[in-house]
Amino acid sequence: MKNLGIIIFLMCFTLLSGCVTMSGNSVSEKRQSVMRMKTEVLTELFELKPSTQSQVANAAGYAVFSNINVNLLIASFGGGYGVVKNNSTGKITYMNMGEVGLGIGAGLKDFRVVFIFESDDALKRFIQRGWAFGGQVDAAAKLDDKGGAVAAEVIIDNVTIYQLTKSGLALQATLKGTKFWLDSELN
């Protein structure tokens, strides 16, 4: 039974590392891929909730991440990449993310997360520390434009977070830790 758990973990890790990579071979192509993802996600968010366009424009900064999450029985794993923009300076920071959780659930979910930083301190903390810990209750059944996903707007410590599900089938309740860190190749 212990070996089965290790095998499942390795399969999930392999699946995630293959699904959560940006396209392109050169640094320039990878940056362009991340920026395309950012534009697509913000366009979708603005269509779903038009008030977010002014919220993003008037914020200290924002971040957009692409993430794949796998939940098998009691363990949850995820990984992704994204970009942070400081609206005051225009500076772009490329980042990676990874998450591990415990809880009940099953499924695979491809989703996007938008962080809107209401203060310079919240933006700076995110780039420098990058940790998030919390709980998540989630139900998603979506493939392209078919189906639906339930995700709430969350406001924590001067940061508003929106989650958009691109595709997946998941039902989960987990406690998880997420680490965001600078992408050493793209910065």
Domain boundaries, given as residue ranges, for the chain: 2-182
Q: What percent of the chain has pLDDT over 70?
A: 65
Residue 99: the pLDDT is 82
Contact 131, 178 (CB under 8 A): yes
Residue 133: the pLDDT is 57
User: What is the residue-averaged pLDDT of the chain?
Assistant: 76
> Residue 7's pLDDT band (boundaries 50, 70, 90)?
very low
Closest CA to 136 of 116, 158, 107: 107
> Residue 21's pLDDT band (boundaries 50, 70, 90)?
low
Contact 141, 148 (CB under 8 A): yes
> What gap in Å lies between CA 85 and CA 155, rounded to an integer?
19
Is the model's pLDDT at 182 over the cut of 50?
yes
Across 118-158, where does the E strand assignment appear? 131-143, 146-150, 154-156
H-helix segments, the chain: 2-19, 27-48, 51-58, 120-128
Average pLDDT (10-30) is 64
Backbone angles phi and psi of 31, in degrees to 5: -60, -45
Backbone angles phi and psi of 121, in degrees to 5: -65, -45
Average pLDDT (4-16) is 45
Contact 176, 100 (CB under 8 A): yes
> Residue 175's pLDDT band (boundaries 50, 70, 90)?
low
pLDDT tens digit string along 130-161? 876 554 444 434 344 544 443 545 667 789 88
pTM: predicted TM-score of the whole model, two decimal places: 0.76
- The secondary structure element, H or E, covering residue 177 is strand 159-182
Contact 131, 179 (CB under 8 A): yes
pLDDT tens digit string along 56-106? 999 999 999 998 877 776 777 888 999 999 999 999 999 999 888 776 666
pLDDT tens digit string along 46-57? 988 899 999 999
Return the amino acid letter for 53: Q
> What gap in Å lies between CA 117 and CA 157, rounded to an integer?
9
Closest CA to 37 of 80, 79, 66, 78: 66
Residue 101: the pLDDT is 76
Q: Does 88 or 8 have the greater pLDDT score?
A: 88
Instruction: Identify any residues that bridge with 22 across adjacent strands, giving them in sequence order.
Output: none
Residue 169: the pLDDT is 43
